[in-house]
Each structure stands twice: as C-alpha cells, then as structure tokens.
Amino acid sequence: MTGPTRATRDVVIVGGGMLGAAVAWFLADAAAFDGRVLVVERDPTYSQAATSFTNSCIRQQFSEPVNVRISQYCAEYIHSFRERLGGDPDIPEIFLHAFGYMYLAADDASAAVLRRNQAMQASLGAGTRILSPDEIVAAYPFYEVGDIVCGSHNLVDEGYWDSGTVFDWWRRMARRRGVEFVHDEVVGIDRAGDRVTGVRLASGGDVACAYVVNTAGTRAAAVAAMAGLALPVEARKRYTFVFETPEPLDRDLPLTIDPSGVHVRTDGAAYMAGCTPELDPAVAPDDFGFDHDIFERKVWPVLAHRIPAFERLRITSQWVGHYAYNTLDQNIVVGPHPEVTNFLFANGCSGHGLQQSPAIGRGLAEWITHGEFRSLDLAPLGYARIVEDRPLVEANVI
C-alpha cells in the first residue's frame, strides 16, 4: 500500500470504483471547486469490484421518477462524453447499443404495474410503450407469449453502454486535474461531535479533511460505522452467464425480464443471462462462492420456455458478482447525513450504480461546492428516509 502525499485534503473519497471515480471527476471539473481530492481504493485491480462484474446496462424503465431522470441524464452524458471531458480528440466516443428492455407481465396485477410505470415514464419523455402479446411477437417472433398479458418496451437509450471506457477516462482526467488516487484502505474515521475530521489509513497515515464521501460499495456499511453511522446496505450475490446457441436469433434480443425474474439479452454475437439465488441472504464482501447447479436448475428452463431457440445452448463464461443492496428500498442513498453533514453517502445502488454514476457524481460535486443539489434534486434519495424508516421503494429491480 502507498500512503497519500499530503496529510490534509479537502475531500477524501473512500472507494475508487465507478461512483468514486465519478465524484472525483465532477469535483475536478467543477469551476467553483479548487480543493484537493484524495481517492482511497483498497484494491486498485478492481478484481472483486461491482464495477468489474457489471453487465453495464442502462434503462429508463423505473418505477420512481427520480430514477428515470437520473438515467436520462446518463444517456445524455454518454452521447456527449468527449465534449463533456473537454473535447480532446483522444477521448473516445462512447457506445450505447439501444436494444431496449422488455418487461413481461404474466398476470393482470403485474400488467397494471407496467402500465402505471409506462404512463409516468412517458410523461418524463421516455420512449416506453406497452405491447400486447401479438405486438410483441410481431416485433420479436422468437418469444413464447402464450402466458403473457403484455410487455413494456423502450428502444430509446436503453440497452448496453461502454461504462468501462467512461470509468477509465474519468480516472485519467481526474488525475490530470490533480486528484490523487492511492492504494490504501480506510480503517478508521475521526469525528468531533457533528463533524468528521479525518480518516486513518491501513498504511499508518492520518488524513485530515473537510468532507468524507462514502463510495465503498458492498463495504459501505462498515465505512459508515467507522463514523458511528448506520447504513442498511449489504452484499447480495447475483449470477451472470454468457452463452452461445446453434440457432442464433435473427435480430437483437432486448434485455428481457421474464416474470420468473430471470433476465437475458443480446451480448455481441452471444447472449447474457442472469438471476438471483433462490435464497438471497447477505454475504461477506469477499464471498464469491458459486452455485454450479443454478443455471440448469433455475435459468435454463426459463430460457428454453420463453425463447425456444435457446433450448440448445453452450455456456462460454459465468461469474457471480455482488449488488450493494439497500435493504430498506433498493434505492441509492445519496447526499449528507442529516446530523454529520460533512459525511456524504453514495451507497446501496442495488444494481443501478453504473447507469446512475454521472448524476450521482455531478450531484455530490454540487453539494460539496454549493451546499445543494442544483442540476437534479436528489433529495428524495437522501439519508433522511433511513432515519424516518420511510422507504422510497423502487419496484423495477432486476
């Protein structure tokens, strides 16, 4: 591990994954901010980070308006990425493959939820449409829809995006603007009354600071506890399988959310499927033990039924990653603690972190710089709902 070059920083960011890099870049790019930023990352290889295990998807089909707006901003950001980073021709354009999401409802109650969500999404400018079974098959003849009431589909700015390149360039550009990234681990946080005053590092150093930003992923609750704060975020396993089939489909497969919860999408020339465990307990952040029977037991029967061309397939890769799962309502907690106001959260994304990272990075940079969210009001996602036990439930969690 390598300690920081100075003993004082304006902002210490705990965790250098996608959200930590976003906060670092947006601070570095803020004209009104001239402070010094330190990013502390315990594993600079990111070998077990959610950032590395992501499926890198983006959608606007959420049940909460604030989440729709957050992902709309992400899409805008992707489309103008080079310009937003200064226009250097070495900065690549970012690819967004808009094959869309397809939520399928198998009963009237689920269909009513899709219709209600579609009306809200459309009112915010999303391209979501409700499709009858006949309309689904007309667009995608490979589906089996005999047990489906309707689908919800959006081909505008929904699908896959190249989040890895964004992550790489945020870190590059933040470093160019003076942000320091160190391989170290925060093992303690000093607090004086209603203020955090600094962090203690595994390498032995102490760093005084004006703000601590918690972007520690599945370890976020442990980081909050160092400051004497509670956070209902835990690691939950999520399985991903990439497979090929001797009968490939003749068009892109939307990211299809089957009523069973199994999901599948186009992945280049192959396909990617995923699922939750049948039992979904909290696990240790370093527990990546794999259930090698779950594909045949849970995933394959659903795929073979919903898309008969997938009855024969060959898995080419598989892995288990983690959600940083907010047990209160599966929504991110973002912004300051109401009592310890210089401790900031960006935790509990529950699988949405990459697509939410531009808005979260911008929002926290605004808060640190101006003391408020200016571009998009993220207050509904604040910590107050944790204190008040007032969940803002996001129904569309995969």
Q: Which helix (H) or strand (E) holds 153?
A: strand 150-154
Band of pLDDT at residue 398, cut at 50, 70 and 90: confident
Task: Report the C-alpha gap between 309 and 306 in whole angstroms.
Answer: 9
Residue 208, pLDDT > 70, answer: yes
The pLDDT value given to residue 363: 98
The tokens for 383 are: 């910590």
The CA–CA distances, whole Å, from 268 to 112, 241, 272, 317, 319 equal: 33, 14, 9, 14, 18
Alpha helices in 33-140 (DSSP H): 50-53, 65-79, 81-84, 108-123, 133-139
Which residues, in sequence order, are bridge partners of residue 208? 8, 198
pLDDT per residue over 342-370, tens digit each? 999 999 999 899 999 999 999 999 999 99
pLDDT of residue 214: 98
Which residue spans of the chain are classified as CATH 3.50.50.60? Answer: 8-59+163-232+328-387
| Whole-Å CA distances, 311 to 69, 299, 302, 317 | 38, 11, 9, 18
Residue intervals in the chain for CATH 3.30.9.10 = 96-160+234-326
Q: Is the pLDDT of residue 54 over 90?
A: no
Contact 214, 228 (CB under 8 A): no
Beta bridge partners of 190: 198
State residue 269 phi and psi, 5-degree precision.
Answer: -90, -5
Transcribe 321-357 into DSSP letters: EEEEEETTTSS-EEEE-SSSTTEEEEE--TT-HHHHH
pLDDT of 3 above 70: no
Q: In whole angstroms, give the CA distance from residue 398 to residue 265.
A: 13
Which residues have CB under 8 Å from 354's CB, separation 6+? 18, 51, 54, 56, 58, 163
Task: Give the model confidence (pLDDT) of 70-124 as tens digits.
Answer: 999 999 999 999 999 999 999 999 999 999 999 999 999 999 999 999 999 999 9
CATH architecture label of 96-160+234-326:
2-Layer Sandwich (3.30)
SS (HEC) of 64-94 = CHHHHHHHHHHHHHHHCHHHHCCCCCCCCCC
Query: Over 70: is that where the pLDDT of 5 sits?
Result: no
Q: Does domain 8-59+163-232+328-387 have CATH number 2.30.38.10?
A: no
Q: Is the pLDDT of residue 47 over 90?
A: no
Residue 380's pLDDT is 96
Confidence category of residue 172, pLDDT binned at 50, 70, 90: very high
Q: What are 311-354's pLDDT values in tens digits?
A: 999 999 999 999 999 999 999 999 999 999 999 999 999 989 99
pLDDT class of 41 with cuts at 50, 70, 90:
very high
